[in-house]
């Protein structure tokens, strides 16, 4: 028992004496409001920040880099899976977003190693390889690729082999749903599955459809590149003794 108590005090001293914490700027007033909402809504019972919290939901330390505003709004207002809906107003959602953004800016939290897979980079490499092999990419499709990356679609959808969401394979999307079906989902989302709605202007929708159609024509090459780049094992990225650096 004495050893456990000693280890607890040693860990506490190491955490609270870490100079990285003192070098981090204080939260802005809006982010501080978001932190209060985080506590009031008991978010920490299911989610972790800096390695502390529950394990029912994903770690949100760096969620700002992978969650679009549209998806976060949908999850907060409609829920997703085991995630309940919260009746948060616009100002409360903005505050919570700001809190998550400022937390993300302070460092890189420890995520499962498999999540280190950089799907947007692999997508760019897959497209470049297909183009080099003779698959022409029109200007509209190239703009559509930029839209897809900006909206972080590849983070939730296949052929990203490590996505936890296992969203519909982007290379099959147009064939499966048709252009009208894709536009309908963009406009309304699929709240029950955590799929947000996207208020994309018509020209961005057209460009996205052009790129999705191109992906369908080059599905075999795209899948091969993703399969080759997929992590073969869950190697540790060499993080320090605690869950945050």
The rounded distance, in Å, linking the Cα atoms of 70 and 57 is 19
User: φ and ψ at 57, to 5 degrees?
Assistant: -110, 175
Q: Are residues 68 and 138 in the same domain?
A: no
The CATH number given to whatever domain includes residue 195 is 1.10.760
Q: Which two tokens stand for residue 163?
A: 């996505």
**148 and 177 part of one domain:** yes
| Own/partner long-range contacts of 94-97 (Cβ < 8 Å, ≥24 apart) | 94/30, 95/30, 95/31, 95/33, 95/34, 95/37, 96/34, 96/37, 96/38, 96/72, 97/34, 97/64, 97/69, 97/72
Please give the average per-residue pLDDT across 33-39, as a whole number.
94
In this structure, is residue 245 part of a structural domain? no
Out of 111, 134, 149, pick the residue that ends a domain: 111
Note whether 69 and 166 are same-domain residues. no
- pLDDT tens for 150-208 read 998 998 899 998 887 788 999 999 999 999 999 999 998 887 777 888 889 999 999 99
Return the CATH number at 101: 1.10.760.10
* Intra-chain end-to-end CA distance of the chain, in Å: 29
Give which of 144, 189, 166, 149 is closest to 66, Cα–Cα. 149
Q: Work out the pLDDT band at 240, boundaries 50, 70, 90.
A: very low
Domain match, 129 and 211 both: yes
Per the model's pLDDT, the better-predicted residue between 240 and 53 turns out to be: 53
Number of domains comprising the chain:
2
Same domain, 70 and 163: no
**Which residue, among 228, 234, 170, 194, has the nearest Cα to 71 in the 3D structure?**
194
* H or E, element range at 188: helix 173-188
Most confident of 13-27, 32-46, 229-243: 32-46
Domain boundary among 63, 79, 111: 111
Examine the domain organization and report whether 136 and 50 are in the same domain: no
Q: Which of 49, 78, 111 is the last residue of a domain?
A: 111
**What is the rounded average pLDDT of the residues 90-100?**
93
Over range 53-69, report the average pLDDT. Answer: 84
Distance CA 118, CA 124 (A): 10
Together in a domain, 105 and 131: no
Residues 85 and 150 in one domain: no
Is the distance from CB of 216 to CB of 174 less than 8 angstroms?
yes
Domain that holds residue 175: 115-229
Whether 243 is in a domain gets the answer: no
* Residue at 242 is within a domain: no
Half-sphere exposure of 147 (CA within 13 A, CB side): 22
* pTM for the predicted model, two decimal places: 0.64
Flag whether pLDDT at 13 surpasses 50.
yes
In a domain? residue 19: no
How far apart, in Å, are the Cα atoms of 203 and each of 147, 175, 180, 209?
11, 20, 15, 10
Instruction: Please tell me whether residues 130 and 150 are part of one structural domain.
Output: yes
The answer to whether position 95 is within a domain reads yes
């Amino acid at each position: 028992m004495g050893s456990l108590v000693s280890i607890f005090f040693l860990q506490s001293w190491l955490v609270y004496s870490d100079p990285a914490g003192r070098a981090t700027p204080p939260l802005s007033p809006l982010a501080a409001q978001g932190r209060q909402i985080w506590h009031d809504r008991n978010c920490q019972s299911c989610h972790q920040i800096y390695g502390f919290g529950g394990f029912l939901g994903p770690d949100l330390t760096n969620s700002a880099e992978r969650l679009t505003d549209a998806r976060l709004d949908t999850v907060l207002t409609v829920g997703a899976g085991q995630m309940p809906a919260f009746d948060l107003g616009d100002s409360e959602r903005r505050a919570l977003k700001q809190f998550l953004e400022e937390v993300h800016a302070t460092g890189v939290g420890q995520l499962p190693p498999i999540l280190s897979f950089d799907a947007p980079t692999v997508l760019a490499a897959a497209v470049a390889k297909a183009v080099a092999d003779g698959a022409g990419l029109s200007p509209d499709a190239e703009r559509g690729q930029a839209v897809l990356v900006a909206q972080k679609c590849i983070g939730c959808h296949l052929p990203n082999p490590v996505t936890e969401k296992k969203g519909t394979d982007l290379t099959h999307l147009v064939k499966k749903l048709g252009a009208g079906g894709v536009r309908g989902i963009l406009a309304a989302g699929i709240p029950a599955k955590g799929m947000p709605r996207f208020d994309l202007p018509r020209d961005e929708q057209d460009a996205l459809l052009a790129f999705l159609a191109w992906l369908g024509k080059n599905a075999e090459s795209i899948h091969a590149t993703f399969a080759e780049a997929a992590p073969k094992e869950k190697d540790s990225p060499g993080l320090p003794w605690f869950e945050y650096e």
